[in-house]
Amino acid sequence: MNELDDKQMDEDVRRLLELAGPRQEPPELLRARVHAASLQAWEELPEPSRKARFVPIALAATVLVSMVAALLLMVGQDEAAVPVGRVVHVQGRVDVRGDGSQEALAAGTLLTTQDGSSLAVTMGASTSLRLSASSSATIQGVDEVWLHQGRIYLDVADGVGLRIVTPRGTVTDIGTQFEVALGGEKLEVAVREGGVQVEFDNGSVQARANEGWGELLRIDAAQQLHRQPLSATDARWQWVVPAGGSFTGATVHDYLAWAARESGIELDYRRDIVRVRAQNSAFTAPEALPRPAGLAALISDVTDFRAELDGHRLLVDFKR
């Protein structure tokens, strides 16, 4: 093989890469797998003889390019084939664009809501996503969402390190309920339960909630941080559309546990026997979720239990 042959092989590889086009960077695990497989294939080639010392090099280059292309194609097919979530609630005009369907959202699906509209999606086993009106977000996977504009609310029952990526900063959950709002050059992060890690140009900070009080972080256009306390029942949360409730054959406890979490309040049975009875008492749930004060009145009116709101706690006991 001479210098002209070397140049021709380089040109062939360059053209192959151009034809493949740009794509997302593969995961680190895949990189390691490709490197290990390529190295093994190289080492298994026979030692070059004096008569054909350049032939194995050309063969190895062809093998490496083929293996990388095949592995990247397999990863792309796997990512597209595994659903990352499903739409469970639609109100008004929404747009869902992606390779999957509303019942099986694919990675890379773009969600957009119009004025007066909202959308709810379940992701994985324990994550609920709500998108407010006039908002846009892309679900990159079960552990990452890109917020382009508007408001998004996440309820992550089990901490999975879910990341909300915005042009103004990145928010990572620590097992929590929180909202991220992006408007122009300003970013707001509201924590209702648990905690989040927020990374932005000027640093990194955590925000947490405790005993019915969370925090509201504001990062302005100059990347300056402002923070203030925020109640778990503040009017700010009222846009969050309840989702995920299925109460066919449900009990009083099933409904109360769901309603309390959706409302940002703590369910508090006054005695263990009350909890046991609630777990074995059938209940017909209303179509709409009432506000916390209305929830207490509903339980007191239509069940054998008495409920009252005490700050951020819903106290439940037997009727006297």
The pLDDT profile of the chain, 320 residues, written as one tens digit per residue, is 555 566 666 666 566 555 545 555 544 444 545 555 555 555 565 655 444 444 454 444 454 545 555 555 554 555 456 899 999 999 999 999 999 999 999 999 999 999 999 999 999 888 999 999 999 999 999 999 999 999 999 999 776 689 999 999 999 999 889 999 999 899 999 999 999 999 999 999 999 999 999 999 999 999 999 999 999 999 999 999 887 666 778 899 999 999 999 999 999 999 999 999 999 999 888 877 888 889 999 999 999 999 999 999 999 999 98
Residues 118 and 217 in one domain: yes
Nearest to 147 by CA among 92, 207, 187: 187
Q: What share of residues in the chain are helix, strand, coil (percent, to 5)?
A: 30, 35, 35
Residue 281, class by beta-carbon neighbours within 10 Å (0-12 exposed, 13-18 middle, 19+ buried)? middle
Residues 65 and 94 in one domain: no
Residues 150 and 214 in one domain: yes
Nearest to 140 by CA among 180, 178, 111: 111
Domain boundary among the residues 28, 47, 81 is at 81
Residues 122 and 181 in one domain: yes
Q: Which amino acid is at 139?
A: I
Residues 154 and 213 in one domain: yes
What's the predicted TM-score (pTM) here?
A: 0.74
Residues 120 and 177 in one domain: yes
Domain boundary among the residues 81, 115, 131 is at 81
Q: Which domain holds residue 21?
A: 3-81
Query: Quick check: 320 and 270 in contact, CB under 8 A?
Result: no
Q: Which amino acid is at 137?
A: A
Residues 228 and 250 in one domain: no
Domain boundary among the residues 81, 102, 124 is at 81
Residues 232 and 94 in one domain: yes
